[in-house]
Amino acid sequence: MIERIVDAIDIETTLLSKDEEDAKNTAIQYLRSLGFKDVDVVFVEHTGFASRIRLRAYVFRPGDKYAWIFGGDA
Minimum gap (Å) between residue 53 Cβ and other proteins? 9
Rule CB under 8 A: say whether 48 interacts with other proteins: yes
| DSSP string for residues in the chain | -GGG-SSEEEEEEEEE-SSHHHHHHHHHHHHHHTT-SSEEEEEEEE-SSEEEEEEEEES--TTS--TTTTTT--
Rule CB under 8 A: say whether 13 interacts with other proteins: yes
Residue closer to other proteins, measured from CB, 7 or 45: 45
Q: Residues 34, 49, 70, 72: which binds other proteins (CB under 8 A)? A: 49
Rule CB under 8 A: say whether 68 interacts with other proteins: no
Report 27-46 residues binding other proteins (CB under 8 A): 45
